[in-house]
Amino acid sequence: MSELNNIAIKILENGKGILAADESTGTMTKRLDGVNVPSTPENRLLFRETLFGSLSMKKCIGGVILYDETIKQTTTKKNKIPELISKMGSLPGIKVDTGTKALAGSLEEKITEGLDGLRERLKEYNELGAKFTKWRGVYNISKNYPSKLSVHSNAHALARYSALVQECNMVPIVEPEVLMDGDHSVKQCLEVTSEVIKKCFDELIAHKVDLKGMILKPNMILAGNKSREKVSNEQIAKLTLECLQSSVPSEVPGIAFLSGGQSEIEATENLNLINKHNNTNFIMSYSYGRALQQSALKHWSKDIQDIEGTQKVFNHRAEMNTLAAQGKWSKDLEI
């Protein structure tokens, strides 16, 4: 096995998942504003340091995706953030895209930017301790979208990014997110997500990316958040597996789902059912942001010095998702 394949498996093996703590300063400010905590660098660091120092990091969290600000910060105990994460038995990672802009030629859609200067930035992040990276492409579903241009352009960017990351001996997480915004049916989501993922792999293969040394971070197959269609959790699991079996080459070691607007319990329940029915060789786990952090953030906001209480809430959520990544979760285990 290659070194990159070893890293990818280490992040996701034994039910471990990924904590997506890569919110930009703007996004983190919105989250903190939502719970009435001032968004200062110190407060952003304190919340993240609280999560990164929790016990569940050892047995549940295989990797943490950081933001540029966070990977360069030092904890209150004078450890560098990547050192703290490594000490807890997890691997530090980094979001390397620079966000989305309007796509020239189809201005209602988005293209992810950040390829300029990426080779140099990757070297710096690698020296800071990052073992893996993340890049997110986004796609809308509507009557006219996603366009062929959007599907092709974002797949091409994801592949170029992945090739540069592997050149720097890190594992790329490839995140093509079909957004759940809209009134589309679950069938439309299945069709679009399948097309998007297949195009990504066409480009990854063309760019000579080692598929054994990457992780796919897709959305689950869900109806749009404005759709009136009633879709059962069983159906979501079945269609998600159908999509991935037909779209993802067998060399890929692991799939880590994004939560994409689902509640904490929904994201856990759907992951659990996917794993109950998973008869593929893919590891299927989680790479959650809000669906891992939201309850902990609410608890912490009441008293930002209550480290132990916040960690207890976070540990519970991480443990629930790690059980779900093994198909062993049940609602009875929820507090």
3-state secondary structure 68-128: HHHHCCECCCCCEHHHHHHHCCCEEEEECCCCEEEECCEEEEEEECCCCCHHHHHHHHHHH
Tens of pLDDT, residues 285-302: 999 999 999 999 999 999
CA separation for the pair 265, 331 (Å, rounded): 9
- pLDDT of 77 reads 87
According to DSSP, residue 325 is labeled T
Least Cα distance to 222 among 255, 174, 175, 271 occurs for 271
Reply yes or no: is the peptide bond before residue 146 cis, omega within 30 of 0.
yes
pLDDT digits (tens, 9 = 90+) for 194-228: 999 999 999 999 999 999 999 999 999 999 999 99
pLDDT tens per residue across span 76-93:
889 999 999 999 999 999
For the stretch 105-121, pLDDT in tens is: 999 999 999 999 999 99
pLDDT digit string, tens, across residues 123-149:
999 999 999 999 999 999 999 999 999
CA angle 89, 95, 97 (to 5 degrees): 165
Reply yes or no on whether the pLDDT at 21 is more than 90: yes
In which band, very low, low, confident or very high, does the pLDDT at 335 lie, cut at 50, 70 and 90? Answer: confident
- CATH says 3-327 is which class? alpha beta
Q: Which residues are catalytic?
A: 217
Q: 272 by DSSP, 3-state: which?
A: helix
Distance CA 94, CA 22 (A): 7
Burial-class residue 208 by CB neighbours within 10 Å (0-12, 13-18, 19+): exposed
Helix/strand/coil (H, E, C) string of 174-218? EEEEECCCCCCCHHHHHHHHHHHHHHHHHHHHHCCCCHHHCEECC
Q: Tell me the domain boundaries of the chain.
A: 3-327
Main-chain phi, psi angles of 175, to 5 degrees: -120, 90
Question: What is the reported pTM?
Answer: 0.97
Mean pLDDT of 277-283: 95
According to DSSP, residue 299 is labeled H
What is the pLDDT of the chain when averaged over all its residues? 96
- pLDDT category of residue 42 using cuts at 50, 70 and 90: very high
At residue 76, the pLDDT reads 85
- Cβ neighbors of 115 (< 8 A, separation 6 or more) are 157, 160, 161, 164
**In the predicted model, is pLDDT for residue 1 greater than 70?**
no
* Average pLDDT of span 257-273: 96
Tokens of 256: 């880590």
